[in-house]
Structure 1
Amino acid sequence: MHRKLATLALVGTFSLSMFAAEFITIGTGSVTGTYYPTGGSICQMVNKNKKETNIRCSVESTAGSIYNVNTIKAGELDFGIAQSDTVYQAYRGEGKFEGAAAIPELKSVIAIYPELLALVVSQKSDIKKITDLKGKKINLDSPGSGTRFTANIVFDAFGMKLSALAPTNELKSSDGPTLLQHNQIDGYFFLAGHPTANIKDAANVVDISIVPIEGPSIDALLKKYPYYAKGFISKTFYRGVPNDVPSIGVKAVLVTNSKVKEETVYQVTKAILDNFEKFKELHPAYKTITKQSLLEGLSAPQHPGAIRAFKEAGLL
């Protein structure tokens, strides 16, 4: 009799524990991309504290930024990773979301790592800065791509017209290394998380340089387009690049819904901040980030739970 009562008590306790547990899901991207391991890393840190917080985290492979934002809006995901320009436009109902309802309930948590614009050129092209592109053969990527969109904005910032180039290419950035190898172009633009196999491939077949994208024109650009942020491409990433290269790009941002509890968002943010150095070791794309950079490039208002964690860490 006593044994039966004890068993019932244990079952009751277990059931209560399971009932009280909170399960959260982070939407990411394809399993071969950077978003998926990023979400997995965050869940790993959150789950390390599950006995104290009673929060269980899982990661889901998705179609990426736009899917994650729309699914968070529908309440089917608790968190998701999305590009900062997508977040900005979704929050305001602009750009890719023009004609659709804005998503004011979309909230930023942290800006994880930069996806920086690289202008990869052959060293023999003698291109040292953006204004040296006049008369050069440059691949701009296909119309409608994130790379092409950002490259166009950079040209505008420097007061340059595409007509100043030699006949341009509009092929995918994935074709860049081959075009460069066969002297069909002097350089190409590519917006990506770094390091990337694309530029490593180019550096293995051609002596390359990566052109700095900086200066007062870029400072003005950042004021006009707040979803861009500064960063640098580490000199350790690519053969033939001896110095860190400043550039701009979008950020991969962890976002959530305003309806997600403050305590939940606080615990997720705190887990990242408390384990930050270990987090940086989990993927090469995190090499250049700092705790302060987690606040740069947030393109929707930050969730109160995240603000609380950053204030507690002395970063706000």
Structure 2
Amino acid sequence: MAGMALLPWATGLKAQDLSYFRIATGTTGGTYFPIGGLIANAISNPPGSRPCDKGGSCGVPGLIAVAQATIGSVENIDLLRSGNVEAGMAQADIAYWAYTGTGTYAGKPPFDELRTIGTLYAEAVHIAVRADGGIQTVPDLKNKVVSVGEEGSGTLVDVRLVLEAYGLSEEDLQPRYLKPGTAADRLARGEVDAFSIVGGAPVSAVSDAAGRLPVRLLPIDGPVAERLRQTQRFFGETVIPADTYPGVPAVTTLSVGAELLVRAEASEERIYAVTRALWHENTRRLLADGHPKGRSIDRARAVAAIAVPLHPGAERYYREVGLIGDAAKEAGAESKPQ
């Protein structure tokens, strides 16, 4: 830092004005990491940046945000709980269970300090198989070599729910606990019969596999999916359109919201500024241009069916822009954990 006095920003923000904002994301083969990187870039505004109105950064002055690669939702919740990151991306169901001490967190202390900035987009449950194989449905996975997701990932949690709904468990498979990129590579080499990932389509690991060999995605639909949606309130129905992945036909599956989470103790002013930067028009363009899933990140859906309470800084922003108000808050009360 010896050359700091020579830098053009030395007369403006000082070194002590800098702050770092670590965002726990996911694996490089999923969607969290690239989306998290785009968000980190958008909300950052380090000293020396050109002003927003002159084509420069429209982020938070003095903030340097960094996307941190992780295993995924469960690890991100743990990192938030321990205070080792300032924010984290996670599936809505995982966030709700952590907040309430239920579901996969049954028997653990509720993480009642967990708060949300809002919902970013819907994540789809992907189960990819070779198109030339005999696996047509989820029950066909019995006795097969299947990557069910890494320990610490939201994928593993949701795949277990899907298997149970179809009358299967990990013991009925030859399970592997692989990173998405590794799983895709092994599918292409014929070393696994299927791999799973929950992510916003298109997921790079599935795109990679589909670019190397013909693949298809297993449907999760019909009465089984309907029962799952009834018992797991954050599951929804979604269709992954044809050719989202090269040569892969449309498939109906389950989806769950991806939320950007923080701790309740985070400064209201800081989270207000981060939320405002997240939904700035320049950020919208950056997301849309930077990743196909970025086009579906819409402020209008940010507070719909959130899994945990809004951080006061985020709530302040949404009130200012008219997305929530007294009536809206009352109408949405039932969707919030009690």
What is the TM-score normalised by the length of structure 2?
0.67
How far has the Cα of 1:106 moved from its partner? 0.8
Matched letter for residue 105 of structure 1: E
- After TM superposition, give the deviation of residue 179 of structure 1 in Å: 5.1
Q: Is the 8 A contact 1:230 1:246 kept in 2?
A: yes
- CA–CA distance in structure 2, aligned partners of residues 59 and 193 of structure 1: 20
Counterpart of 1:169 (choices 164, 170, 174) is 174
**SS at 2:125's partner residue?**
strand
* Local SS of the residue matching 1:302: coil
Alignment partner of 1:241 is 2:248: yes
Structure 1 residue 66, shift from structure 2 partner: 4.6
**Residue 274 (structure 1) aligned with residue 271 (structure 2):** no
Query: Equivalent residue for 1:82?
Result: 90
Q: Counterpart of 2:267? A: 261
CA contact (8 A) 1:40 1:59 kept: yes
Paired residues in the alignment total 295
Matches of 1:176 and 1:291 in 2, distance apart?
33
Looking at structure 2, the residues matched to 144 and 62 of structure 1 have their Cα atoms a distance apart, in angstroms, of 14
CA distance in structure 1 between the partners assigned to 2:93 and 2:65 by the alignment: 25
Match 2:312 to one of 287, 304, 310: 304
Aligned to 2:206: 199
What 5-or-longer segments of structure 2 have no aligned partner?
1-9, 46-50, 325-338
User: Paired residue for 2:41?
Assistant: 44
* 1:137-180 deviations in Å (ceiling 9; x for gaps): 654435875445423422444xx3239xxx74323464466557
Residue deviations 1:236-272 (CA, integer Å, cap 9, x gap): 43121243x3322444421112222333322222222
SS state of the match for residue 262, structure 2?
strand
CA distance in 1, matches of 2:229, 2:100: 18
Within 2, Cα distance between the matches of 1:162 and 1:80? 31
**Aligned counterpart for 1:218 among listed residues 208, 213, 225:** 225
SS at match of 2:96: helix
* Counterpart residue type for residue 98 of structure 2: A
1:23 aligned residue? 19
* 8 Å Cα contact 1:91/1:103 also seen in 2: yes
Between the aligned partners of 1:53 and 1:171, the Cα distance in structure 2 is 42
Helix, strand or coil: the match of 1:170?
Answer: strand
Please tell me whether the aligned partners of residues 181 and 202 of structure 1 are also in contact (alpha carbons under 8 angstroms).
no
Q: What amino acid is aligned across from residue 196 of structure 1 in structure 2?
A: V
Residue in structure 1 matching 2:162, options 154, 167, 173:
154
* Cα offset, 1:109, TM superposition: 0.8
- In structure 2, the CA distance between the partners of 1:297 and 1:233, relative to structure 1 (3 Å rule), is farther
Aligned-partner residue type, residue 27 of structure 1:
I
How much does 1:313 deviate?
4.0
Q: 1:204-260 deviations in whole A, cap 9, x for unaligned?
A: 4543322332346434423432344444434343121243x3322444421112222
Q: Given residue 109 of structure 1, which amino acid in structure 2 is its aligned partner? A: I
Report the RMSD for the aligned CA atoms in angstroms. 4.1
Q: What one-letter code is carried by the residue in structure 2 that aligns with 1:44?
A: N
Partner Cα distance (1:176, 1:292) in 2: 34
Match of 1:3? none
Tell me the residue number matched to 1:108.
116
| Letter of the structure 1 residue corresponding to residue 124 of structure 2 | L
The structure with more radius of gyration: 1
Q: Distance in 2 between the 1:293 and 1:214 partners? A: 24
Question: How far apart in 2 are the matches of 1:288 and 1:281?
Answer: 11
The answer to whether the Cα contact below 8 Å between 2:42 and 2:286 also exists between their aligned partners in 1 is no
Give the letter aligned to residue 87 of structure 1. Answer: A
* One-letter amino acid of the structure 1 residue matched with residue 275 of structure 2: T
Instruction: Please tell me the residue identity of whatever aligns with 2:24.
Output: T
Structure with greater helix share of residues = 1
CA contact (8 A) 2:135 2:141 kept: no
> Compared with structure 1, are the counterparts of its residues 54 and 176 closer, same or farther at alpha carbon in structure 2 (3 Å cutoff)?
closer
Partner of 2:292: 284
